[in-house]
């Protein structure tokens, strides 16, 4: 995996982890760090979707740090 792909994957994972925080705690880490309203109100369905996206981000960490060789 080249450097640009790793950077893109890292940003996707950070975004997913932020959505996990929104889904579980209704707290936006990016807004808290960069300015803005860090508490969000959301419906239960949207919180479930945010949480699933966040869990997917945690799962994706294995692609960032795992063995990325292609086998034939």
Instruction: Please give the pLDDT value at position 50.
Output: 84
Q: Report, in angstroms and rounded to the nearest whole number, the Rg of the chain calculated over CA atoms.
A: 14
Q: Which residues contact 4 (CB under 8 A, 6 or more apart)?
A: none
Say what percent of the chain tops pLDDT 70: 90
CA distance 29 to 12: 14
Residue ranges in the chain whose pLDDT is less than 50: none
């Amino acid at each position: 995996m080249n450097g640009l792909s790793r950077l893109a994957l890292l940003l996707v994972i950070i975004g997913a982890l932020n959505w996990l925080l929104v889904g579980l705690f209704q707290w936006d880490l990016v807004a808290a760090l960069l300015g803005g309203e860090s508490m969000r109100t959301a419906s239960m369905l949207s919180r479930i979707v945010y949480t699933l996206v966040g869990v997917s981000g945690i799962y994706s960490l294995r692609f960032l740090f795992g063995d990325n060789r292609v086998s034939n």
